[in-house]
Amino acid sequence: MKINKITAFKLLLAVAVAVGFTGCSKKGGSNTSSATGWKINDKKGGFQHNSNYKQQEPAPGLVEVEGGTFTMGRVQDDVMHDWNNTPNQQHVQSFYMDETEVTNVMYMEYLDWLKKVYPPTEENYKNIYVGALPDTLVWRSALGYNETMTNNYLRHPAYANYPVVGVNWIQAVEFCDWRTNRVNEAILEKEGFLKRDAKILDVTAENNFDTETYLESPTKAYGGNEEVVLRGRNNKLAGDEEAVNVYAQRTSGLISPEYRLPTEAEWEYAAIALVGNREYNIYRGNKKYPWKGQYTRSGKRQKRGDQLANFKQGKGDYGGIAGWSDDNADITAPVKSYPPNDFGLYDMAGNVAEWVADVYRPIIDDEASDFNYYRGNVYMKNQIGEDGRAEIVTSETIEYDTLSNGRIQYRNLPGQIARTPVTEEDVYLRQNYTKSDNRNYRDGDRQSTRFYDYGGSSEEGVNTTSQMYDSPQHKVETDSLGNMLREWDKSNKRTTLVNDNVRVYKGGSWRDRAYWLDPAQRRYYPQDMATDFIGFRCAMSKVGPKSTKKTARHKG
């Protein structure tokens, strides 16, 4: 009996010790490195890491689109016989997309910020605000009276929630960059890394926030103003002048990924929303439009017969007869006027067509890539100064581009990091890419033409007079006096309009027939030109797991 008691005591002691070790291990696990055993987030310094990070928070205006596989380019009809949407299987990673198209009021906020920070009355900044202005003259017609839209569509509050138009592809990209900076600026202010209300009270042309500048060197943000750039309200090391890692970085999990234009694959995947037809790992049936069914009218009892998008019904019919409109709109319509698709996205067909990121080519090269397909990569790097640090753009070093239509567009802004293309030395012996500009990769470059002589002795190896893409070459230059010189390419021997500066736009618009509402249809337009029927919406990559809410079908 005595032996049994001793044995039982030893067993209880062993269990207690084991539980104690387990508890200590669990308690210190998140704060101890599994690689070195060192303490993480030590008050004295060392490696700082957000070990409590859970998942990416959706940024303003965005909804989550869970990635997956789909057949890109599958159209129901191809009466145009373009042969530019051959079906191919693609996989898209999870991402976020704007719930609606960017509206006039959203774009007006951007213009207001530019005008206040970079006053157009000052010589150095006069082309920044003007370069961002939408082209309101796109509404004009030689045989139509549209001056009401020309004068009112952008600014009048009656059109505040209508999609912005007259914005070219370059302007859309710049808006995305601006939006990234403003969102991250607000996040860091909330977390105590930036002075409260500095984004309104302290911002100037030379003292403003740029995400990449802050990440590269936080003390250079806001022009190096230490009264604005703080060490974080809750940072335990903030009071230690010798401490490092006291500013927010990517490791903190606070910095939001950049807003950008969606790729063509992302846009088409999000628009068709096949998730609504999913049965286990199979798509049951095809979809011609972002909604279910083969027709443009609703089949639901309460709304039977209502149009599900804003588009041109027929010749001279943009919205139906007075008293009861077919789609209740003759030009664009306020966003959210029609039901969303199965991803919760509005107006993925009709209203306005939308810019996407891709350079246009007639064929999607799925042999080269079937994962996050995108044509348009131009890889850049930070420009390094004599001090070995990244150079920051100032009011004297702003760069502008003169577009093909003579318009002047800013390339960078004060406070941003100056960027330069990667060089041959940077890509030496790389297998995944070999140059900075990959817009014409495998299609349009010399090696892609049928005239390229792979085994020839010619230094160039190609007949330069017989290119695959021979588009017009217009020239716009400025002389020493500032006068703009325009030289039109009047050649009648050009074979195509395709070049590295034409971008894809997707979705039908208020000017289009139902044929173009099919998300797989694709068209292109010069990136520096705008219309009254092309708008855009932003996207953002999702970091972390593909899905944070997926459960098995048999589980609750």
- pLDDT averaged per 10 residues in sequence order, the chain, 556 residues: 56 50 43 88 78 87 94 83 87 97 98 96 92 96 95 97 98 98 95 92 93 92 88 70 75 93 98 82 78 84 83 92 87 96 95 98 93 96 90 92 88 93 94 93 81 61 65 83 83 88 96 94 95 98 84 51
CA 401-406-409 angle, 5° bins: 30
Q: What does the alpha-carbon distance between residue 353 and residue 376 come to, in Å, rounded to a whole number? A: 20
Instruction: Record the tokens describing residue 286, joined without a space.
Output: 């095809």
pLDDT at position 219:
87
Q: Which residues contact 354 (CB under 8 A, 6 or more apart)?
A: 101, 267, 505, 506, 507, 534, 535, 536, 537
Enter the DSSP assignment of 79.
T
Q: What is the DSSP letter of 468?
A: S
Q: How far apart, in whole angstroms, are the C-alpha atoms of residue 174 and residue 132?
A: 8
| Angle (nearest 5°) at CA 543 between 284 and 208 | 130
Determine the Cα–Cα distance for residues 275 and 366; give it in Å rounded to an integer: 22
d(CA 261, CA 103): 15
Q: How many CA atoms lie within 13 A of 394 on its CB side?
A: 6
Which amino acid, residue 345?
A: L
Residues 162-183: tens digit of each pLDDT: 999 999 999 999 999 999 999 9
Q: In this structure, what are the phi and psi dihedrals at residue 234, rounded to the nearest 5 degrees?
A: -105, 10
Confirm whether pTM is higher than 0.95: no
Find where tokens 């010798």 sit.
242
User: What was the pLDDT predicted at 22?
Assistant: 42
Give the closest residue to 131 by CA, choosing from 172, 90, 95: 172
Of the candidates 341, 356, 332, 401, the residue with the CA atom closest to the CA atom of residue 153: 332
Identity of the amino acid at 495: T
Contact assessment for residue 538 and residue 59, using Cβ atoms and an 8 Å cutoff? no
Please compute, for residue 235, the number of CA atoms within 13 A of its CA located in the half-sphere on the CB side: 25
pLDDT at 23: 42
| Start-end of CATH 3.90.1580.10 domains in the chain | 63-191+254-376+500-556
User: Could you tell me if 51 and 34 are in contact, meaning their C-beta atoms sit under 8 angstroms apart?
Assistant: no
CATH number at 63-191+254-376+500-556: 3.90.1580.10
Longest dimension (CA), the chain: 110
Q: What is the DSSP string of 126-170?
A: HHHHHHHS--GGGG-BTTB--HHHHHHTTTSGGGTTSBP-S--HH
**CA 500 – CA 267 distance, rounded (Å):** 20
> CA 155, CA 459: separation in Å to the nearest integer?
56
For residue 503, what pLDDT is reported? 98
- CA–CA distance, 300 with 298 (Å, rounded to integer): 6
